[in-house]
Amino acid sequence: MLPSGTTYEEIRAAFRWQVPARFNIGVACCDAWADGSGRTALIHRHTDGRVETITFDALRAATNRLANALIAHGIAPGDRIGVLLPQVPEAAVAHLAAYKLGAIAVPLFQLFQEEALEFRLRDCGAAALVTDTVGLAKLAGIRARLPALRLVLSADGAGEGAADLHALMARASEDFTPLDSVADDPAVIIYTSGTTGSPKGALHGHRVLLGHLPGVEMPQDLFPQPGDLFWTPADWAWIGGLLDVLLPSLFHGVPVLAHRMPKFEPEAALRLMAEHGVRNAFLPPTALKMMRGLADPARFGVRPRSIGSGGETLGAELLDWGRAAFGVTINEFYGQTECNLVVASCAALMPARPGWMGRAVPGHDVAIVDADGQVQPAGTLGTIAVRRPDPVMFLGYWGDPTATAAKFAGDWLLTGDQGVMDEDGWCRFIGREDDVITSAGYRIGPGEIEDCLLRHPAVAMAAVIGLPDPLRTESVTAVVVPAAGVLPDAALARALQDHVKTRLAAHSYPRRVIFQDALPLTATGKVMRGVLRRALTKEAPACPAT
């Protein structure tokens, strides 16, 4: 979508959005390339090392079959379809089939436990779920509390209360007429973390894919180029895996490497990239830091054309390491689930500036504003904001118009992040206004974890914050006031960690548990997380948990 040019200024001046009135993600990412040529869409590296190549022609047939099967079981346009799968072809098929029939896909992270899954499936009123045996085991304990969920399909074969996904598809027709959707029609709900209460579902229209394209092309050094092959360790259940990698690549006819990696291992990741000749990668900062811990990472022979990273600003040391290890300058990008990929750097157009995350991606109007939405002068600290209308911007929070309205000041979407912008439009991230925690590339909301902790009988009060961590950016930290008569020891800390890990998600459990007699509260009884964070960052107390 980016026009040709040799400088950022030239490309930005020439850029014009090309968003048609009618657009369907499933058609654009699949059928558009299914011309009988056998063009590769996915390269699936199985956990046992087997490699399976899936063409766009095969992808079209599979998505048509699934769309027909879903309709035959009563799934209609507008219905929500949960996708609880790792990086496997069935996940891509489920998404594309949902878009084709006009349903709304709801990506779900496999590390979510029962409580986290139940909330999201119940909140969106999911009518169907595509999963596997791992997901079925978690679903068993909550399905009775999900009255809207009437169809469950398992990629691993029939199970209790679940039909065999592949058998159902085999009986369905390959002929299907996709819905002629409007670009603003709902397509996907991605749950984002919030600082208070439960997570919110960011609802996006089909146009969100087109809105992402410039923000993918820029930090991937003018993607696509001949021979490109994209991979990320980020799960496709997150916006970073789904809309920063999978769908934009398929839209451009670029193959995507799919590989289930239960736990990120830097050496295995580098070997994977080298063996498959990965040319483009999205590597979260934590992944880069873990790779940097290896001796002589260049020995693996990874030679990508481009690497993008987002989630925190990369310093000069990490940029220099990236050039030595990969032979490229790692580009940065910035955004959030509600309005993603709006700021980026691009080594092909401009030198990197360590400490600065980039400039506004062409097509996006980004500024620093005050609380009233007034644009601030260069060099002034304020809130990073994006002006509407913008095709990458969400339609609103699912079922929550009040929260949607609160996200804006006039026509400016307020990211909640503090930053400054210089005279040339370079943007520096300073910190967050809210209390969302960035840990190992995940954005984690404290409210859900606090609610989970408070369900434990040993907890009287709890506050969850992020404390600086050299590897994960921030470490999820629980500050707990024990119930009366409870001994705050290491055993209790481990019990509370397990309590969260088994009920919410392994990536969001508190890696530190700190016991205090009381929490700082406002006059209205709200926990002052900022006060806690500043005090504990300064004091860095020892933690009884390991």
Give one DSSP letter per residue of 273-318, joined into a string. HHHHT--EEE--HHHHHHHHTSS-GGGG----SEEEEESS---HHH
Q: Which residues contact 126 (CB under 8 A, 6 or more apart)?
A: 80, 81, 82, 106, 120, 146, 148, 149
Q: What is the pLDDT of residue 444?
A: 85
Say how far apart CA 219 and CA 361 lie, in whole Å: 9
The alpha carbon of 452 is separated from its chain's Cα centroid by a whole number of angstroms, namely 22
Domain ranges of the chain: 19-40+53-183, 437-539
Q: Which of 504, 489, 397 is nearest to 444 (CA)?
A: 504
Q: Would you call 408 exposed, middle or buried from its count of C-beta atoms within 10 A (0-12, 13-18, 19+)?
A: middle
pLDDT at 541: 44
Q: Which residues contact 419 (CB under 8 A, 6 or more apart)?
A: 368, 381, 382, 383, 384, 427, 428, 429, 430
- Which pLDDT does position 289 carry in this prediction? 85
> H/E element holding 493?
helix 490-503
Residue with tokens 């997901």: 135
CATH number of 19-40+53-183: 3.40.50.980
Sign of the four-CA dihedral 303, 306, 310, 314: positive
C-alpha span between 75 and 151 (Å, rounded): 9
Per-residue model confidence (pLDDT) at position 311 = 74
Three-state secondary-structure class, residue 343: strand
- Which bin fits 440, alpha (ψ -120 to 50), beta or left (φ > 0)? left
Distance CA 281, CA 302 (A): 11
Tell me, what's the pLDDT at 543?
41
Residue 58, judged by CB atoms within 10 A of its CB (0-12, 13-18, 19+), counts as middle
* Under 8 Å between Cβ of 29 and 39: no
Class of domain 437-539: alpha beta
Between strands 473-482 and 512-515, the pairing is parallel
Each residue's pLDDT tens digit in the chain (546 positions)?
A: 999 999 999 999 999 999 999 999 999 999 999 999 999 999 999 999 999 999 999 999 999 999 999 999 999 999 999 999 999 999 999 999 999 999 999 999 999 999 999 999 999 999 999 999 999 999 999 999 999 999 999 999 999 899 999 999 999 999 999 999 999 999 999 998 655 567 999 999 999 999 999 999 999 999 999 999 999 999 999 999 999 999 999 999 999 999 998 888 999 999 999 999 999 999 988 889 889 889 899 999 999 999 999 877 788 888 999 999 999 999 999 999 999 999 999 999 999 999 899 999 999 999 999 999 999 999 999 999 999 999 999 999 999 999 999 999 999 999 999 899 999 999 998 877 777 788 888 878 787 898 899 889 999 889 999 999 988 889 999 999 999 999 999 999 999 999 999 999 888 899 999 999 999 876 556 688 888 988 998 765 444 443
Q: Which helix (H) or strand (E) holds 92?
A: helix 89-101
Which amino acid does the sequence have at 517? D
pLDDT of 105: 99
pTM (two decimals) = 0.89
Structure tokens that stand for 108 in this block: 């779900």
Rg (CA), the chain: 23
